[in-house]
Amino acid sequence: MNRRSLLWTALSSVGAGLLASRADAVTADERPPGRLKVVYHLADADRVNFALGNIQNHFDGVGGPDNVTIALVVLGPALRAFTLTQANPDITSRVARFSKAGLQMAACGNTMKAQDVTLAGLQPGFTIADRGGVVKIAELQAQGYLYIRP
């Protein structure tokens, strides 16, 4: 074996070792400590059932609500689907089930004003994001929540 081959083999071995150790470090660094926290951003009326399905899949995928903290922030046209007068029975039952499971639900205060909706007019379990839905989402992200927009 000539010097060039020996040098190339040595450098390749060192590089592979560094890459492997870096991959382990990245995996450890990217893994959130403790319980995972996620915020779902829902604004589109035609995405309500899809988003609720994602939340159910999320609970199922991690072994239940004891293993994850999920917040749902609803704003814009999607809010109508959660009003007592317009929600269909499927949404009503899912919201009730999720609320019992610990899903945190917030309605955008700006959207509520624009649509003339009160907290009493929404499905039980909602709170008001007084400063707005997008502000609430940003606050949750600052608290370590991961952002999902289905």
Q: Which pLDDT band, with edges at 50, 70 and 90, does 28 fall under?
A: very low
Per-residue pLDDT of 78-118, as tens digits, reads 999 999 999 899 999 999 999 999 999 999 999 999 999 99
Query: What global pTM score does this model have?
Result: 0.78
Per-residue pLDDT of 38-58, as tens digits, reads 999 999 999 999 999 999 999
Partnered with residue 37 across adjacent β-strands are 69
What's the average model confidence in pLDDT over 121-143?
98
CB crowding 108-121: b at 16 or more within 10 Å, else e: bbbbbeeeebeeeb
CB crowding 6-33: b at 16 or more within 10 Å, else e: eeeeeeeeeeeeeeeeeeeeeeeeeeee
What's the average model confidence in pLDDT over 132-140?
98
Could you please state the CATH topology (level 3) that the domain comprising 34-148 is classified under.
Hypothetical Protein Ychn; Chain: A, (3.40.1260)
